[in-house]
Amino acid sequence: MENTKVIVGLGSCGIAAGANKVYDKIAALKQADNLSFELKKTSCVGMCYREPLVEIQDDTGTYLYGEVDEDKIIEIIEKHINQHDPVKDFIVHTDLFKTIDNEYVDNQVKIALRNCGYIDPENIAEYEANHGYGAMFKIRDEKITQEQVIQNVLDSGLRGRGGGGFPTGMKWKFAYNSKSDEKYIICNADEGDPGAFMDRSLLEGDPHAVLEGMTIGAYAIGAHQGVIYCRAEYPLAIKRLQIAIDQAREKGYLGKNACGIEGFNFDMYIKEGAGAFVCGEETALMASIEGKRGMPRKRPPFPAVSGLWKKPTNINNVETWANIPWILLHGPEAYAQYGTEKSKGTKVFALAGKIKRSGLVEVPMGMTIRDVIFKLGGGIKDNKKFKAVQLGGPSGGCVPEYLADTIIDYDSVNATGAIMGSGGMVVMDESTCMVDVAKFFLDFTRKESCGKCTFCRIGTKRMLEILERITEGKGEEGDIERLEELAHQIKDSSLCGLGQTAPNPVLTTIKYFRHEYEAHIRDKKCPALVCKKLITYEVNPEKCTGCTVCAKNCPTNAISGERKEIHLIDKELCIQCGMCYTKCKFEAIKLS
């Protein structure tokens, strides 16, 4: 038992699911029975649909237990630790035998997420034990020049993982070539789409990987100051980042002659942002760091020439920085072996929506969307029909089921009308209304517009008004064409990526699901039975028992009928609130 480790996943997702209580229970059992195993903490394992997660490592192997609560952990400790008999019913993954979740793990290639869920993010020694800061030592010991570092990144084929997909090495080269004694490195950890879950999990689970990546970038372009711009809504990420920065300073990895490289002086700090979606755009982000309102500016000049405080600046997002140490340590060829001709390496996705296995996955570029959803994600909840997937966050696009064999790379995804974004993948089933989806995402981007550009500020509002009319049964002929015209004007006339991509959900749903818009406008029907104003409620006489529950809960007294008699709904009085449908225990209310 002396060699046994019990590791609890304590990322934000685990804590929300009750992992703290499980950890405290294990600690109490350990103390009460004087058990000698080592109790440790880690962060998000990625298997969020199985939280809370507890891993046990012993002489026989590694066992990951899922959906652990305080009662289950008592049984696990008793049988696995005391009796050396793993509880197979609770194990979600192990290399010793096949489990239902093997596909989720076995189809991944983890580079950015290599340490997440495996190390204690608050212990720098565990990062060091997993080749942490080895890339910086390699630069120091082999006297690798700035130009050689940049060439390594170019040769790897790494493209920015924040959405635009611009070649990372080229971006660094521009900043390196900008002549200035003062340069800056920035980590953009403020992206606000579902992929931001990925940013948060990386910062919570492996903060030193991001710090080391930024340190390498600073060495390459000649910067002496770094800023991590992180939204204040990520308190655990900020806490662990600050611990990591303090530890790195203490070890000499930051500060004067950082990592033992003579003359390389580099340090960084955290800037907490207010969580504005527009601050995912680099010029708006820099304005916020400078204490100004987060609004984009015209380019050129680009940040590599005139960025933070008008000095040359290089900005990459969390996932991009986390890849850098691995590339420098293992070589660009090792990274470039994954992916396609124009999109190398791996990509992290946050799986969400109507999917059986939601969570964080990292897959090689070139895998199909379908394989991600069905092999890793396990398919659609309740075995319903797969309808579409939203790629790229609120300003991404909806890819229909018949294009699910599209491979994941920048060019292929862009060709569908969606974008890679920072890795949001929201899965939708047959019960999803695509007009309602477009309205939902457009409402978000409209609210997040900084208001600088007229077309973004006013155009998105006009588009939203049209969508609201359509979903309320007030759509008119010509509304689809108006939406398309406004969408293209907004894309062409907006200054930054928010406005340029905000219409994507509308354009892609019109392109692939035009028939749903037409049904809403012409037939005044919502095929998915989602838009309340377009739903007709009727009593099914074969199932109605006359219990009167529906009538008692109807706010407009639209339902009549005596007890134990079949009830009727007055469609003139019905306001389509859905209360009768929700309250009926006999499924006697029909929707049409």
DSSP secondary structure string for all residues of 99-117: -TTHHHHHT---STTTTTT
Looking at residues 353-362, what average pLDDT do you find? 95
Does residue 529 fall inside a structural domain?
no
Does residue 111 fall inside a structural domain?
no
Does residue 530 fall inside a structural domain?
no
Does residue 305 fall inside a structural domain?
yes
What is the reported pLDDT for 196? Answer: 61
Q: Is 272 in the same domain as 140?
A: yes
Judge whether 286 and 308 are in contact, CB under 8 Å. Answer: yes
**pTM for this model (two decimals):** 0.93
63 sits in which H/E element: strand 61-65
Q: How far apart are CA 225 and CA 181, in angstroms?
A: 11
pLDDT tens-place string over residues 228-286? 999 888 999 999 999 999 999 999 999 999 999 999 999 999 999 887 888 888 999 99
pLDDT higher than threshold 60 for residue 107: yes
What is the β-pairing status of strands 184-189 and 225-231? parallel
Looking at residues 128-142, what average pLDDT do you find? 97
Q: How far apart are CA 213 and CA 156, in angstroms?
A: 15
Reported as a pLDDT band with limits 50, 70 and 90, residue 421 is confident
What size, in residues, is the chain?
592
Q: Is 448 in the same domain as 404?
A: no
199 sits in which H/E element: helix 196-205
Q: Is 418 in the same domain as 438?
A: no
Judge whether 580 and 563 are in contact, CB under 8 Å. Answer: no
Backbone dihedral region of 417: left (phi > 0), alpha (psi from -120 to 50 degrees) or beta? left
Q: Pick from 390, 410, 429: which residue ends a domain?
A: 429
Classified as helix, coil or strand, 495 is coil
Q: Pick from 396, 414, 429: which residue ends a domain?
A: 429
Least Cα distance to 226 among 260, 283, 266 occurs for: 266
Q: Which residue has the higher pLDDT, 461 or 496?
A: 461
Q: Is 167 in the same domain as 295?
A: yes
Looking at residues 394-422, what average pLDDT do you find? 93
Q: Roughly what angle, to the nearest 10 degrees, separates helices 207-221 and 235-251?
A: 60
What is the reported pLDDT for 393? Answer: 84
**Long-range contacts at 70-74 (CB < 8 A, ≥ 24 apart):** 70/21, 70/22, 70/25, 73/22, 73/25, 73/26, 73/29, 74/25, 74/29
Which CATH number do you get for residue 289? 3.40.50.11540
Q: Is 467 in the same domain as 562?
A: no
Distance of CA 417 to the CA centre of its chain: 19
Q: Is 370 in the same domain as 399?
A: yes
Q: How far apart are CA 269 and CA 246, in angstroms?
A: 10
Output the six-digit token pair for 558: 């639209």
Q: How far apart are CA 291 and CA 462, in angstroms?
A: 32
Q: Is 326 in the same domain as 462?
A: no
What is the reported pLDDT for 348? Answer: 94
Average pLDDT, rounded, for the chain: 94
pLDDT higher than threshold 70 for residue 325: yes
Reported as a pLDDT band with limits 50, 70 and 90, residue 423 is confident
What is the residue range of 484's domain?
A: 434-523
What is the reported pLDDT for 230? Answer: 93
Least Cα distance to 210 among 105, 140, 121 occurs for: 121
Does residue 140 fall inside a structural domain?
yes
Looking at residues 509-537, what average pLDDT do you find? 95
pLDDT higher than threshold 80 for residue 163: no
Distance of CA 74 to the CA centre of its chain: 33
Letter for the amino acid at 137?
Answer: F
Upstream peptide bond of 301 is cis (omega within 30 degrees of 0): yes
Q: Is 517 in the same domain as 545?
A: no
What is the reported pLDDT for 162? Answer: 78
What is the reported pLDDT for 86? Answer: 95
Lowest mean pLDDT among 65-79, 186-200, 273-287: 186-200
Looking at residues 54-76, what average pLDDT do you find? 96
Q: Is 286 in the same domain as 149?
A: yes
What is the reported pLDDT for 199? Answer: 86
Reported as a pLDDT band with limits 50, 70 and 90, residue 1 is low
238 sits in which H/E element: helix 235-251
Where does 472-533 have alpha helices with state H?
479-493, 497-501, 504-518
Looking at residues 412-427, what average pLDDT do you find? 90
Which CATH number do you get for residue 506? 1.20.1440.230
Where does 356-407 have alpha helices with state H?
369-371
Q: Is 274 in the same domain as 151?
A: yes
Q: Is 145 in the same domain as 239?
A: yes
Reported as a pLDDT band with limits 50, 70 and 90, residue 51 is very high
Judge whether 252 and 293 are in contact, CB under 8 Å. Answer: no
Q: How buried is residue 390: exposed, middle or buried, by Cβ count under 10 Å (0-12/13-18/19+)? A: buried
What is the reported pLDDT for 194? Answer: 46
What is the reported pLDDT for 260? Answer: 96
pLDDT higher than threshold 80 for residue 125: yes
27 sits in which H/E element: helix 19-32
Q: Pick from 336, 356, 371: which residue ends a domain?
A: 336
Least Cα distance to 414 among 137, 163, 55, 80 occurs for: 163
pLDDT higher than threshold 80 for residue 370: yes
Which CATH number do you get for residue 404? 3.10.20.600
Q: How far apart are CA 547 and CA 336, in angstroms?
A: 66
Question: Residues of the chain with pLDDT > 90: what percent?
Answer: 87
Q: Is 141 in the same domain as 276?
A: yes
